[in-house]
Amino acid sequence: MATVELTKDNFEAIVRGNDVVFVDFWAEWCGPCRMFGPVFEAASAEHPDLVFAKVNTEEQPELAGAFNVMSIPTLMAFREQVVLYAEPGALPAKHFGELIEQVMAVDMDEVHREIAERHADHDHDHDQSH
C-alpha cells in the first residue's frame, strides 16, 4: 500500500480505522525529511498490512500543532489509537525496521490496562481533592 496523505479532515478516520498507523511529519524544504522519505516509502511496500501516512506540516499546521511537532521529520506510531512512539529525527532503514517490529510486538492489552489504571488513579486523585 502506498503512503497516505493525512489532512485534518481524514486524520481521525485513518487512525481510528486502522490497527497500526505510522505517521511521518515532513515538509518539502526539509533535507532530512527528503532523505527519510524513501525509507518510509520502502517500509510501506514491505508492510502492506500496515498504514504509512505522511503529514505535510506546511499544508497541515493544525495537525503539527495538535501533536506538538517542533522539528521535522517527526515519526509517530499509533497502535489501536495509542501513540507508542513519537520522536523527531530521520531513522536509517534498519532502525525503522526494528521500530516497526517493536510496535507490532507490543502487548496492547497490557497498554490499555495501564491507560485504564492511570485514568482510574487520576479519577481517584480527583475525588480526594473534593
Residue 125 has pLDDT above 70, yes or no: no
Arithmetic mean of pLDDT, 109-119: 92
Reply yes or no on whether 83 is catalytic.
no
Element (H, E) at 103: helix 93-105
pTM: predicted TM-score of the whole model, two decimal places: 0.90
Mean model confidence pLDDT for the chain? 92
Domain 4-105 belongs in CATH node 3.30.1330.40 = no
8 pLDDT above the threshold of 90: yes
- 30, 64, 72, 99: which one is catalytic? 30
Q: Which of 6, 15, 33, 50 is catalytic?
A: 33
Q: What is the pLDDT of residues 51-65, one digit of tens each?
A: 999 999 999 999 999
CB proximity list for 94: less than 8 A, separation 6 or greater: none
- The domain limits of the chain are 4-105
Q: Give catalytic status of residue 112 as yes or no.
A: no
pLDDT tens digits, 50-102:
999 999 999 999 999 999 999 999 999 999 999 999 999 999 999 999 999 99
